[in-house]
Amino acid sequence: MSIPDVTELTLEEKASLTSGASFWYTKPIERAGVPAIMVTDGPHGLRKQREGGDHLGLGDSVPATCFPPAVGLGSSWDVDLIHRVGEALGTETSIENVAVLLGPGINIKRSPLCGRNFEYLSEDPIVSGVLGAAIVRGIQSKGVGTSLKHFAANNQENDRMRASSDVDPRPLREIYLRGFQRVVEDAQPWTVMCSYNRINGVYASEDPWLLTQVLRDEWGYEGLVVSDWGAVNERVPGLAAGMDLEMPSSGGVTDAQIVAAVKDGSLDESVVDVAAGRVLDLVRKASEGAGSVAGPLDVDAHHALAREAGGRSIVLLKNEGGVLPLARDARVAVIGEFAASPRYQGAGSSMINPTRLDNALDEIRALATGDVSYAQGFSNALQVSDDDATALRAEAVAAAEAAEVAVVFLGLPARLESEGYDREDIDLPAAQLELLDAVLDANPNTVVVLSNGGVVALPFAGRVPAILEAWLLGQAGGGATADVLFGEVNPSGKLTETIPVRLEDTPAYLDFPGEFSHVRYGEGLFVGYRWYDARRMDVAFPFGHGLSYTSFAYGDAAAQVDADGDVEVTVAVTNTGPVAGREVVQVYTSLEGSQVQRAPRELKAFASVALQPGETQTVTLTVRRQDLAYWDIRADRWVVEGGSYTVSVGASSRDIRSSVEVAIEGDAVTLPLTRTSSLGEVLRHPVAGPIVQAMIAQAMGGMADSAASIMPEGVDMSKMMESFPIGRIGMMAGLAGDGAGASPEMIDGLIAMANAGGVPAQA
């Protein structure tokens, strides 16, 4: 199909392309042969409204494979696996003739209270960026598009339509935008979805700095910016800022506003041309990719992939005494409502109508050869009488007493986690904790399996011998859980977010969710493990943690800088245990004595490696030079600080196995001098430094006697003067009492000469 050029359309037609025709479709222009295309929700499955269904498609979407949501899938840390899941998502999207799947979501998990954390990958931008790019590449390999969301600094649901994320430049760049930058530069998603919120007071949907300067001019983004559904505040300023497509339909209201703005001269028609051209480009890509995958869907194959992904998403937090894996012939008591009625996805726009649904109880019984009993243990109903709760608990205790091992399924009821509102705490329901205490009293040989979209407090961690963090695992999560419990799958998941001891310990505790539509990101750079490590705080389980049924030994790490300035890190990893397993190798960097504030260590690269018993592989990981950079607020750009970096390789952020030093050449940063520049800054300047050094020596000589009379012995005057503004150096003349110092004219001449690169200002 031939899609016309924007020059062939009228002003009214061009304006019409910048908003939707309905809830899920773009506008067609029949005269010009421009078809409508469909976009619809993801991100862990296709949520396509049936013909004649409700306008949202929440209750009546076509069956699709529900893969593990990002909270689970991210814990695999496996780029290849996630790419394969992306390919499967792209296949289902193409078969259903949908042009764009709205995902992935890669917002940072700033607080565990965010109600939508189940849709996001990590508290770390490198994890979010690398894995997000893998999803995008996988989906788009099938001729359909993605929508990278929610751009940007969208880290809570409370007041999400208007709250301002008030965040300083360094954390904004280094934490909240860095993952988006990685996905854009590495994978070029067809669309980027701007978020509802404001950023430092400006709506994301009408922020030219965000949507044009950063996204397009700096990162080289080539696609289209679409609004989150209902995120448009003022359409004409939004269009000028770079927000191309408003969704859903405005009923033509905002199209008319655009036309009127052009006609009255307040909006240049070229702005409309650019946005409409991007919509035409999207339609063109969709038309070229249409029919790339022929149906019907192989439901069994995709369910098997969902089961594989679910097994790889589970994190073995603890396994004292080798309780796991379970023996096939063991007498097992399965306890907890989640075992029979699985919690497998979060609520809201990402809810998938699964093609089938496993539950853990049936799958455990399918693998076991011994007796498997079941007790509900608790009810997720809103109202449960004391008598009913007591009876359920008593039944569970009896089952645990009669079993060799109890497997207790605990978690968060679906009503506690959803798009649209945040959680109030990180606690499991009291009835579940009471049940667990009773079961442990009856049978200490107990395994806890968690079903939750956001982290929960684990006050029982010291008492329970084995804990599986099973997150939300999609439609095949029941089978995946059974596979891990019995050792059919060796757990290899690792935490992409820290599990704190208490909510009060979390970085954003005092600044979440804000007040009066403003939320101050007061923790700055110190999000997640950066916060806990900097404060040397105890955590329940650290970022990057995850155990296995085997063990891994690390050799000595080596690191060298390649021709591109990237750091190539190598380390030998050996499977020293009895079974095949997979280890996630993590690389962290730090810089002692940095001139800027930094976390004690920061993740910069990772790799998932599969090893047979006794096998050794040399793992090579690349730390990109650009990922070593910090955002210099003076120069307003990325800067790599030179120095001797410590490169650490480990199994978690707090399980470092080997470290090596590597010298990194820094970027030159020469800032213009002014009268307010400190003496320290001036002394480091290649031109001004030597001149001022001589001036200071003369002035300090005259001050020596008077200083000695008022300063204790050993006081370092040079340190005192380090922050003294150069424009006030003339004060030294009075202190010296001999005319030493510099006149304002001398200072201005020195500054002019230094800023001219050493050429006298009059030359």
Q: What residues are annotated to the active site?
A: 228
Q: Give me the residue label for tokens 């304006």.
A: 15
Token representation of residue 318: 């603890």
Q: Are 651 and 551 in contact (CB under 8 A)?
A: no
**Which residues fall within 8 angstroms of residue 10, CB to CB, at 6 or more apart?**
none
Q: H/E/C letters for each residue in 241-254?
A: HCCCEECCCCCCHH
Which ranges in 189-263 belong to alpha helices (H)? 208, 235-241, 253-263
Whether the CB-CB separation of 685 and 755 falls below 8 Å is answered with no
Dihedral sign computed on CA atoms, order 83, 84, 86, 87: positive
Enumerate residues 6+ apart whose C-beta is below 8 A from 558: 569, 570, 571, 660
Question: Which one, of 310, 640, 359, lies nearest residue 493 by Cα?
Answer: 310
- The angle formed by the CA atoms of residues 100, 104 and 109, to the nearest 5 degrees, is 155
Residue 130, classified by CB atoms within 10 Å of its CB into exposed (0-12), middle (13-18) or buried (19+), is buried
Return the closest-CA partner of residue 114 out of 513, 633, 622: 513
Which has the closest alpha carbon to 509: 499, 520, 497?
Answer: 520
Distance of CA 279 to the CA centre of its chain: 28
Per the CB < 8 A criterion, the answer to whether 39 and 21 are in contact is: no
Tokens standing for residue 452: 């939750």
Three-state secondary-structure class, residue 584: strand
| Rounded Cα distance, 712 and 716, in Å | 10
3 state DSSP class of 177: helix
Token pair 């990180």 is found at: 426
CB distance 625 to 565 below 8 Å: yes
Place of tokens 């050794």: 616
- Please compute, for residue 229, the number of CA atoms within 13 A of its CA located in the half-sphere on the CB side: 16
Q: Dihedral of CA 151/154/157/158: which sign? A: negative
- Contact status, residue 729 vs residue 676, Cβ threshold 8 Å: no
Cβ neighbourhood burial of 746 (10 Å; 0-12, 13-18, 19+): middle
The pairing of strands 145-151 and 100-102 is parallel
